[in-house]
Structure formats: structure tokens, C-alpha cells
Amino acid sequence: MKTIALRPGEPERDFGQLAAWFSYLEEEPTSEASLKEEFEQKRERIFQKVAEDEQGELLGFYWAVRHRSDLERADIYLFVRPEQRGQGIGRRLYEDLEQAAREAQVKKLRGNARDTCPEFRVFAERCGFIELWHQFAMELNLDTFEDRPYDEVIAKLQGEGFQFTSMEALGDTEEAQRKLFLLNDVGVVTTLGQDGGHAWDSFDDFQKSVCRSDWYRPGGQIVAIDTVTGAWAAMSAITRFEGQDSAYNLFTGVDMPYRGRKLGQAVKVLALRYARNVLGVHSVRTHHNTKNLPMIAIDLKLGYKQLPGDFVMEKILERA
């Protein structure tokens, strides 16, 4: 086995290379500055190391982040340079990662294995991981997107008493943010194919990690309100991350009592118009797990094309 050394990654020394590797793993640009910022914000929840050879050349790394609400779970990344694989470097990194997780009393490790790279999944399975679900990306070309046919759907819903608005139009008040939190939380918990867990452990957590984040755009948080009851029935959130030339549809959800009425189509179309007219982008991307058939059907109807995705893998750590 190649002689390597493991050490904690140093922001000034290593994070430029790590940002490039994160960009490859996530298929989205990650800057050195944003990685440093994330590390500072989550330092107490992160454990990470790099692997280097005798000359100090970086060969790979692992990065694990303890989940903000489920403290017994860590979300992990592990990468080895393609030309250095097959020499035991990945195994060495993983064994150190698992030991660090055990010492931190983490009981679940969760990571992604790209579905276009079978060797990623094979390695994960050899380390004891099993598949939780399969998710893939979808992309829509806004230059060819024909949204006028949905005007009738939106008008019909408005006639039935639904108001379509945005967090910006509502003043992005704390009261509105609390209602947005509850609608998001219900949507996440009831999304088909997910594990039923909550994405945030409280409104304060949601407000900090969503409403106060750099990517949060109140105008891109589209909501449908039942004016008869005052209930928030549906929402679709869209943004443009720093450094990207496309928009990203973060989440679209409809509360259970309002499903089957085309509210999901309506809020998503309004979010896409915001992306085209306000964000000024030419394409929008999103992700779905393969079991979320209703939302996949909506996106296919809108003209989204399916792209490669990932297998979400998990390992339960037994006591040593």
C-alpha cells in the first residue's frame, strides 16, 4: 500500500483543492471562500482529514458533518484522486472516518454514491453501506419553456379562493416565516420516498439556516394561501446560488388536504417565471428521489429532462 499520512485539512493550505473536489462530487461549483465559511459556521459539527504522500501532495480527503438536529447522524464525503485509486487510500480514509465518528458518538453515516460511477457504490457497499433511496437531477430549459397554458390553471385556482404571492410581497415578516416553516416541514416529512424525518429541529433553526442564508430570496419563495381558511396550502422555493449561471428549485410542496388540485403545478410555474424574469437565468435544475412520482410527473409535464443522480447510502455503526 502506498505510504500516506492523514492529517486535518487546513483552510489556507488545503481548502482550494478540497473546493475543487467538492465541485466534482456535487456537480455544482464550490468556491474556496464558501468552503471556508461553511467550515467556520459548522466547525463544532465537522470532522475531516486529508491524505497526502511523502511529498505532501494531496491524494484524497474525507469530510463529515454531524446533522444539526439528528446529532447521532453524520453526512459524509470521501474522495480519492482517480489515478491514485486501488491502493488502499480510500479504505484508510474511511477507517479513520468511522473511528472518528464512533469517538464522536455518531451512530449513522450517510453519503451519496453517483449512479454514473459504479465503483463509488461498490466501495460504499464494501464498507457496509446500504441504499436508502435513489435520487436524480432534472433540468428545464427556460428559453423553450411554454408557460402560457398554465395561466388557465392559475386563474381557476384564484377563482376558487387561492391567493398566489411571495414572501417578499408579504413583507418577509416573522409571522410569514413561521407559516413558511410549517408548510416546508409538513412537505418534507410527507415527501414520498424520504425517511420521514424533519429537516429542521425548530423554527429558530429554519430561520437561521434558511431565511438568514445568503441564497434566500423572498421573491423566489412562492406560496399559495387559501383565503377562506387562511391556511398556507402550497409553496415553491427557487434561487440562484452564487457563481452559478442557472437557478435551483429547492423544494415544491403541497399540504396534504390540498393535494390533487394542481396547486403544485401553479406555484412551480410562478417560481419558474421568477427565475426567468427576475433572476435572468436560462435554465433551472432540481433533484427528486425516484419514489416521488407525483412531483416527477409535474416536472416532466413542464418539460424537465432527467439527468444522472446519486444513490443515498447509509451505515448504522454498531458498538465496538
Please write the tens of the pLDDT for every residue from 183-235: 998 877 766 555 656 777 789 989 988 999 989 999 999 999 999 999 999 99
Distance CA 38, CA 42 (A): 6
What average pLDDT score do residues 164-176 get?
A: 98
Fold: same for 5-106 and 138-307: yes
Quick one: pLDDT at residue 27? 77
Confidence of residue 158 (pLDDT cuts 50, 70, 90): very high
- Residue 112: which residues within 8 A CB-CB, separation 6 or more? 25, 310, 311, 312, 313
The radius of gyration of the chain from alpha carbons, rounded to an integer in Å, stands at: 21
Fold topology of 5-106: Aminopeptidase (3.40.630)
Quick one: pLDDT at residue 112? 94
Q: How far is CA 201 from the centre of its chain?
A: 17
Torsion angle, alpha carbons of 9, 113, 236, 307, to 10: 120
Quick one: pLDDT at residue 14? 97
Phi and psi dihedrals of 202, rounded to 5? Answer: -170, 170
Quick one: pLDDT at residue 320? 54
**Domain residue limits, the chain:** 5-106, 138-307
Quick one: pLDDT at residue 271? 98
Quick one: pLDDT at residue 29? 80
Fold topology of 138-307: Aminopeptidase (3.40.630)
pTM above 0.85, yes or no: no
What average pLDDT score do residues 271-289 get?
A: 95
Mean pLDDT across the chain: 92
